[in-house]
Structure 1
Amino acid sequence: MTKHNILFIGLDTHKEFVEVAYIEEHRGSNPVHHGRVSSAKQAIIKLARQFQSKYPYATLHFVYEAGPCGYWIYRLLTSLGHCCYVVAPSLIPKKPGERVKTDKRDALKLAKLLKSEDLTPIYVPEPEDEAVRDLSRAREVAMKDLKDAKYQLKALLLRNNINYAGTANWSLKHLRWLTELVLPHPAQQIVLQECLQAINERIARLQRLDNELTHHVYQWRYYPVVKAIQAMRGVRLLVAAGVVAELGDLTRFDHPRKLMSYLGLVPSEHSSGGKRHIGAITKCGNGRVRRLLIEGAHTYRYAANISTELQKRQEGLPKHIIAIAWKAQVRLCRRYQKLINKGKHYNLVITAIAREMIAYIWAIAKEVVLSQVDPKLRLARIPA
C-alpha cells in the first residue's frame, strides 16, 4: 500500500447525515466520494477508524463548514487525536459559473480546497466559553422579546388615541397607569391585559437571565479580562461579558488592527490603477460585538471624567490598566469632538470611536494575560 502523509477529508454536515469525501496528498490525485454516514457520534468514530485502517500511515485532516450543528464534530475528532478544521461558509471560494450545488459536490469541494490551502479555519471556542456565550445571547433575546411586547402594547394604545401624560415610560407610575386603563371594547381589554402579563413575564425572565449571567461570569476563566475591560468608559458588565464571550481569547490577534478587521469595523476599499475609493465599513465578522461597541461608543460624546460608577468598576484594578482606560477616554472624547467639529455624520463618528475602543480593550486584555503568565513580562501596549 502506498504511504500517504496526509489524507484530506471533507464533511458536509447535516442534522441527520454527513456527506463524506476525501483526497490524497500526492500530486495529481482527485477527490473521491466516500458516501453518506449517520450524524451520530458512533458513526463519526467508526468513519475515522475506517480511514485509519485504510490509510494506516496517513494523518487525517477533517474539515467542515460552520453551521447550526455546532462544534461537537470538531471536539469529537480532536479528542480522537485527529486534525479538524471548521471554516466559515462565507469565506469558501466559489466560482462564478457554479450553478449546481449538492451535498456530494460540497464535500468534494471542501476536501480539495483543504488540500490546496484555500480555506481559512475559524476560531472554535472551548465548551465553557460557548456556554457563557449562549447565556449571553439568551439574555439578548430576552431583551428583544421584552421590547417587542412593549411595542405591541404602545401600538394598541396609539390606535385607540390613549396617551400617557407622564414623562418616564415603563416606570412604576407608568405601569400603575396601564393597569387602571379601561378600553372601549371588552375584547380590547383582554388584549391589554395579555400584553401587560407578557411584559411582566418577560421582565421576570430578563431578571433571571441577568442574575444567572452575573453568577456564571464571576466563575468564568475569562472573568479577570471581563473585570479589567470594565475600566473603560461605556463598558459595563453585560457589554464586557458579551464582547469576551463572543471573541474568546483576544490575545490570539497579534495586532489590534486585525481585531478591527475581524469585526468589520474597517472601511471597505475599491482601488484600481491610480484611483482609490474608500467606502463604508465592511461589516464582516461578529455583528453582535460590533453592536455592543457601538452602544458603548455613544458615551464618549461627553467630556472626559471619572464618574462614581466608573470609579467603583475600577476599584481593585492595577494602576497600569486604569491608566490605559483613562488614556482611551481622553483620546476618544477628544476625537469625537474633533470629528463632529469637522462636520462628520454622527453615525460615522460613533463607528470611528467604536473601532478605537476595541483596540484599547485588546490592550487591556493583553495586559491581563501577560500579568497572569509572569508579572515581570508585563508591558503596557497602548495603541497610539
Structure 2
Amino acid sequence: MKNYKEVVGIDVSKKTIDAFCYQAEVHKEFINDVVGYKSLLKWVSKYTNEIDVFYCFENTGYYSLKLALYFASQSIVYVEESPLKIKRSSGIVKEKTDKLDAALIARYAWLYREELEPSTVKSMSHLELGRLLALRDQLVRNNAGLKGTLKEMKILLSSPTTDSGCISLKRSIDYLSKQVKSVEDRIKEIISQDESMQKNYELLSSLKGVGLVVASQLIYHTGNFTRFASWRAFSSYCGTAPFEHRSGTSIYKRKQCHYLGDRKMKSLLSMASVSAIQHDSELRQYYKRKVAEGKDKMLAINNVRNKLIARAFAVVKRGTPYVVLQQHAA
C-alpha cells in the first residue's frame, strides 16, 4: 500500500457508514447499502482528483461483509482490519462518535499503510461454511439449555411423561436435534463440493480427536490452510501459544498463553485434546509424561493442543494421512 496518496476510513454500523478522507479531512455519512456505496465513491472522487486511494474499515461481521462484497465486485482496493488493532493503535480516546471512529480508522490506515495488505473476499462456499458452523453452535447451545430444563422438570414432577410442558420440551429437543443433523449434512456437502477442502478434510480426519466440527472449523479459520504460514502462527491466533514475560532482572515469569485469542477454536481444541488423549496412545503417553514431570494438567493439555495443531498442519502440508508410529514399531 506504499504508493497510495489518500486513504478513506469507514466506520460501519447496521444502517449507516461514516467515511473520513484522511488527507482532505472531510467527513460524510451514507446509507449502508449499494446506493450508499455508489454515493460514497462519487463523494470520494471529488476530493481525491483521481489519485490513488484505498479504503479501510473494521471487520464487523455481516455489516462490513456487504461493503467488502461490493468493493470486491468493483475491483476497489480495501483493507478489512481487526477492530482491536485499530483501537490499541489509537492511544487514549475519551470521546466516542461515528465521525471520530472513521477518522481514527483513516489515521491507522495511513500510519501503517506500508505494512497493510489488500484484503480479499472469501469464496461463497467458505462464507456459507462459516455461517453454518456458527448456526450449528447456536442450535447446540439452545438444545443443551432445553435438555437442562427438561432434566430439572423431571425431578420436580411425579409424572413427567404426561406433563404437557415435558412433552413440549421433548418435541423441541427432537426438532433441534434434526436441525443440527441437517446443518451438519449441509456442511459435509459444501466440503465435498470443493476438491481442496475435501482432501484436507480427509487428511484432518485421520487425526485422533478430530471429527467433523473440529476439522471444519480448522478449514474455515485457516482459510483452508492458506491464511497462516505455520502452525505456530495459528497457535498464537487460537491463544494456545506460550509467550515470555520478563523485564530486567526482577520480573521473570514462566511462559503463559495470552488471553487474546479465538476462544471458540481454543475450546474445541481442548475437547479434541481430551478425546485424543483417550484414543491416541502416543498423545496419552506424552500427556502422562508431562504430568509426571510436575506440569499442571491444564498446561499438559495445552501441550497436547499444540501437538494436534502441529499434526494438522503437517498432514495438510505433506498431503498424506497421519500414521501412528507405535503400531508399526518392531
Q: TM-score band, normalised by the shorter chain?
A: 0.7 to 0.9
Q: 264, 288, 303: which is aligned to 1:352?
A: 303
Matching residue of 2:20: 21
The 5 A counterparts of 1:1-384 are 5-24=4-23, 32-52=25-45, 54-68=47-61, 69-92=63-86, 93-94=88-89, 97-117=92-112, 125-160=122-157, 181=160, 189-220=163-194, 221-274=196-249, 275-278=251-254, 280-302=256-278, 304=280, 330=282, 332-368=283-319
CA distance in 2, matches of 1:362, 1:182: 50
- Between the aligned partners of 2:124 and 2:11, the Cα distance in structure 1 is 22
Go from structure 1 to structure 2 and tell me whether the alpha carbon gap of 1:19 and 1:304 turns closer, same or farther (over 3 Å shift): closer
Question: In structure 1, what is the Cα distance between the partners aligned to 2:161 and 2:212?
Answer: 40
* Equivalent residues of 2:154, 2:160 under 8 A apart: no
Q: Which is further off, 147-156 or 52-61?
A: 52-61
Sequence identity, in percent? Answer: 18
1:303 positional shift: 6.5
Q: Distance in 1 between matches of 2:279 and 2:190?
A: 34
> Secondary structure of 1:348's partner?
helix
Q: AA paired with 1:100?
A: E
Q: Separation in 2 of the partners of 1:14 and 1:5?
A: 26
Number of residues of Structure 1 aligned to a counterpart in Structure 2: 312
Q: Indicate conservation of the 8 Å contact 1:267/1:278, yes or no.
A: no
In 1, are the aligned partners of 2:90 and 2:108 still within 8 Å (CA)? no
Q: Return 5+ residue gaps in structure 1 as ranges.
A: 25-30, 163-179, 184-188, 306-329, 372-384
Q: Secondary structure at the match of 1:133?
A: helix
* Residues 136, 245 of structure 1: 8 Å contact kept: no
Q: What root-mean-square deviation, in Å, do the aligned CA atoms of Structure 1 and Structure 2 show? A: 2.6
Per-residue deviation, residues 73-103 of structure 1 (Å, max 9, x unmatched)? 1231133222111111112225564211111
CA distance in 1, matches of 2:303, 2:26: 48
CA, structure 1 residues 209+303, in 2 after alignment: closer, same or farther (shift >3 Å)?
Answer: closer
Cα gap change, 1:182 to 1:74, in 2 (>3 Å): closer
- Give the Å deviation of 1:36: 0.8
Distance in 2, matches of 1:126 and 1:211, equals 20
TM-score by length of structure 1 reads 0.74
Moved more, 226-235 or 345-354: 345-354
Structure 1 residue 47 displacement after superposition: 1.6
Gaps of 5+ in 2: 321-330
Question: How big is the shift at 1:337?
Answer: 1.6
Output the CA distance in 1 between the equivalents of 2:273 and 2:11.
40
8 Å contact 1:12–1:65 — kept in the other structure? Answer: yes
Give the stretch that moved more between structures: 189-198 or 43-52: 43-52
Shift of 1:17: 1.1
**1:347 Cα deviation after fit:** 2.3
Q: Which structure has the bigger radius of gyration?
A: 1
Alpha carbons of structure 1 residues 247 and 344: separation in structure 2 relative to 1, 3 Å: same
What is aligned with 2:328? none
Distance 1:7 1:270 in 2: 39
Structure 1 contact 260–266 (Cα < 8 Å) conserved: yes
Asked whether the 8 Å contact 2:238–2:265 carries over to 1, the reply is yes
Structure 1 residues 293 and 120: alpha-carbon distance in aligned structure 2, compared to 1, 3 A threshold: farther
Gap change, CA 1:289 and 1:124, over 3 Å in 2: farther
Question: CA offset at residue 284 of structure 1?
Answer: 2.7
Work out whether residues 244 and 255 of structure 2, in 8 Å CA contact, stay in contact via their aligned partners in 1.
yes
